């Protein structure tokens, strides 16, 4: 094929945005943007199309740009906090600490940082609760490297001289003064074909799309632009449910398919339902502030007096032959309001509503719980738990392990093991662990057992076997999605949200 023939064929395939770029191809990216009147996204798309046609080759270079943060914009205009404090002391030296902060109108954090910065530079001394200015007039007039640095922003990180790098490190640890962002520089080079076609003003009467008007007024000479059906198109990220919600819906479907009914309830509950009804002693460490989020200065209502009476009896003297906890149960302690620490609170509330004719029965829940935990790769202060209870006079421990094994398999985990454990409200109690392939270790996800008579008698009126469990659902999701850190479930990284596959266990 001759060059002219090839050029003619390419011209027949050029889209309107490509034709607007062709006359300016010997200019830079930014010059083309101005001359063609295209926005940046459209221009990049046009260049990509031209690259596919062999007219040019695109190259990208990533740069790190240091720019002003929210506080940095304000400080550049009005002074850094330490400069503000210096100006106050220059007018009125030896001020009491509280008065200096008030006069400078600095927040607690700004004031503490200012004191640290100025002390490090030996510009002030603090003695007997007063701040004294040591700076000379020259030192007061001279701008710090940090102030000079802010005035030069935005700029490329790689071009920073040593003194500005030092200023960058000092400001980086302070809140929202500077930010580091990435920018892409786009450039391109023309191929031999591109050199032949660059600069042409290409007029086209080729049709772009079929419209009602075109159909009505069709003439024999009409001709459509040729389309390359193999050309790559821009990636479009369609809308979809958050992967956490996908997994939760899947978990619910498992329990529903196994014949369970869903339990729902409030996240803010009383200690009575969260602890007392589940035979957790009122002096148990789990009920302390370092484990539980209590709602300050609020008291809740207790349920039916008969249920309260039976729960009180279970704690103080026991039921069905047990001895209880042997202490005076405090009704006011039971009225304390908190964020539920487990979805087992829904089980206690559900049992209290059941009648004999409702049995046997199976219930489940998947919902948020809250505990005052130290956050790490497998712990969070807010997490999802899946709850289950089976109320059946014929139920036993083998049934319990069977339910948990079946749920685990349907969630995609074949390796599961059980070991004895202790929980205040179940006996016997077991822990279920599943194998985490990425961590190469067993992870505890199931806390399970059979409710003690001290739970079932006050709530049901008699001792009936109640199988109960509460797996940590977030940990199951973590392993199913091969996420190594629990915190990634809620990081909302848009790229990860787009790339993570649909739930397909």
| pLDDT tens-digit readout, 358-373 | 889 999 999 999 988 7
Phi–psi pair at 466, nearest 5 degrees = -130, 110
pLDDT digits (tens, 9 = 90+) for 77-105: 888 999 998 888 888 888 888 888 899 89
In the chain, the percentage of residues whose pLDDT exceeds 90 is: 30
359 in Cβ contact with 466 (< 8 Å): no
Length of the chain: 505
Cis peptide before 428 (omega within 30 of 0): yes
Two structure tokens written together for 181: 């962002």
- 95, 244, 116: which is closest to 174 by C-alpha? 116
Q: Which of 34-43, 53-62, 160-169, 375-384 has the lowest mean pLDDT?
A: 375-384
**Distance in angstroms (rounded) separating the CA atoms of residues 338 and 330:** 17
CA atoms within 13 A on the CB side of 128: 1
> How far is residue 473 from each of residues 252, 406, 486, measured CA to CA in Å?
11, 15, 11
Rounded to 10 degrees, what is the CA torsion of 269, 274, 275, 278? Answer: 140
Strand partners, 181: 65
Q: Rounded to the nearest 10 degrees, what angle do helices 108-120 and 97-104 cross at?
A: 110
Q: Rounded to the nearest 10 degrees, what angle do helices 40-52 and 29-36 cross at?
A: 110
pLDDT digits (tens, 9 = 90+) for 212-233: 887 887 777 777 777 777 766 6
Average pLDDT over residues 160-187: 88
pLDDT at 376: 73
Residues 6+ apart with CB under 8 A from 220: none
The separation between CA 149 and the C-alpha centre of its own chain, rounded to angstroms, equals: 33
- 220, 500, 459, 207: which is closest to 350 by C-alpha? 459
Q: What is the DSSP letter of 231?
A: S
Average pLDDT over residues 110-138: 87
- 62, 67, 60: which is closest to 155 by C-alpha? 67
**Distance in angstroms (rounded) separating the CA atoms of residues 285 and 290:** 9
Q: Rounded to the nearest 10 degrees, what angle do helices 305-316 and 453-460 cross at?
A: 160
pLDDT at 505: 56
CA atoms within 13 A on the CB side of 347: 34
Token pair 């915190």 is found at 487
59 in Cβ contact with 47 (< 8 Å): no
Query: What is the DSSP track for 67-88?
Result: EE-HHHHHHHHH--HHHHHHHH
CATH topology classification for 68-181: Arc Repressor Mutant, subunit A (1.10.10)
Average pLDDT over residues 389-399: 94
pLDDT beyond 80 at 4: no
pLDDT at 310: 94
338 in Cβ contact with 256 (< 8 Å): no
First to last CA, the chain: 53
Task: Give this prediction's pTM.
Answer: 0.60
Mean pLDDT score across all residues of the chain: 87
378 in Cβ contact with 475 (< 8 Å): yes
CA-angle at 47, arms to 230 and 204, nearest 5°: 80
- 68, 75, 61: which is closest to 180 by C-alpha? 68
Residues 6+ apart with CB under 8 A from 91: none
Token pair 């990180």 is found at 157
- Residue spans per domain, the chain: 3-55+191-216, 68-181, 246-499
Q: Give a three-class secondary structure readout of 268-325.
A: EEEHHHHCHHHCCCCCCHHHCCCCCCEEEEEECCCCCHHHHHHHHHHHHCCCCCCCCC
Percentages helix, strand, coil for the chain, rounded to the nearest 5?
40, 20, 35
- 193, 170, 181, 161: which is closest to 6 by C-alpha? 193
Work out whether strand 361-370 and strand 261-262 pair parallel, antiparallel, or are unpaired. parallel
**Distance in angstroms (rounded) separating the CA atoms of residues 86 and 100:** 10
pLDDT at 1: 46
**Distance in angstroms (rounded) separating the CA atoms of residues 167 and 145:** 6
Helices of type H across 69-199:
70-78, 81-91, 97-104, 108-120, 137-141, 145-152, 162-172, 192-197
The class of domain 246-499 in CATH terms is alpha beta
């Amino acid at each position: 094929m001759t060059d002219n023939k090839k050029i003619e064929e390419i011209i027949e395939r050029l889209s309107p945005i490509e034709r607007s770029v062709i006359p300016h191809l010997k200019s830079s990216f930014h010059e083309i943007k101005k001359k063609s009147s295209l926005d940046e996204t459209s221009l990049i798309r046009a260049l990509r199309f031209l690259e596919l046609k062999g007219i040019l080759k695109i190259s990208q270079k990533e740069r790190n740009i240091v720019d002003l943060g929210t506080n940095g914009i304000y400080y550049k205009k009005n002074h850094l906090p330490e400069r503000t404090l210096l100006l106050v002391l220059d007018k009125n030296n030896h001020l009491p600490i509280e008065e200096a902060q008030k006069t400078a109108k600095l927040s607690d954090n700004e004031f503490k940082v200012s004191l640290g910065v100025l002390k490090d530079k030996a510009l002030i001394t603090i003695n007997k609760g007063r701040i004294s200015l040591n700076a000379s007039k020259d030192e007061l007039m001279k701008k710090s490297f940090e102030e000079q640095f802010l005035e030069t922003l935005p700029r490329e990180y790689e071009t920073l001289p040593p003194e500005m790098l030092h200023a960058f490190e000092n400001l980086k640890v302070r809140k929202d003064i500077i930010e580091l962002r990435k920018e892409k520089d786009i450039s391109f080079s023309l191929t031999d074909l591109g050199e032949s076609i660059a600069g042409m003003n290409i007029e086209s009467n080729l049709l772009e799309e079929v419209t009602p008007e075109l159909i009505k007024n069709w003439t024999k000479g009409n001709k459509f632009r040729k389309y390359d059906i193999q050309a790559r198109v821009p990636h479009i990220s369609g809308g979809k449910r958050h992967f956490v919600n996908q997994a939760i819906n899947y978990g619910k479907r498992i329990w529903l398919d196994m014949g369970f009914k869903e339990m729902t309830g409030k996240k803010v509950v009383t200690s009575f339902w969260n602890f007392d009804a589940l035979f957790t002693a009122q002096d148990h460490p789990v009920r302390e502030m370092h484990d539980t989020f209590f709602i300050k200065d609020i008291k809740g209502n207790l349920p039916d007096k008969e249920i309260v009476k039976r729960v009180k009896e279970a704690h103080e003297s026991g039921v069905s032959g047990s001895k209880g906890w042997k202490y005076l149960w405090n009704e006011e302690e039971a009225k304390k309001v908190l964020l539920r620490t487990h979805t087992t609170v829904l089980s206690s509330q559900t049992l209290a509503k059941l009648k004999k004719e409702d049995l046997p029965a199976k219930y489940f829940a998947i919902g948020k719980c809250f505990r005052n935990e130290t956050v790490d790769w497998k712990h969070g202060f807010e997490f999802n738990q899946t709850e289950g209870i089976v109320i059946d006079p014929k139920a036993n421990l083998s049934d319990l392990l069977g339910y948990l094994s079946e749920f685990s398999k349907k969630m995609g985990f074949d390796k599961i093991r059980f070991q004895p454990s202790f929980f205040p409200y179940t006996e016997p109690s077991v822990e279920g662990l599943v194998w985490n392939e990425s961590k190469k270790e067993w992870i505890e996800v199931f806390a399970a057992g059979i409710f003690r008579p001290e739970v079932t008698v006050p709530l049901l009126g008699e001792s009936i076997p109640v199988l109960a469990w509460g797996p940590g659902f977030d940990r199951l999701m973590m392993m199913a999605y091969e996420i190594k850190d629990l915190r990634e479930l809620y990081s909302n990284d848009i790229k990860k949200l787009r790339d993570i596959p649909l739930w397909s266990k």
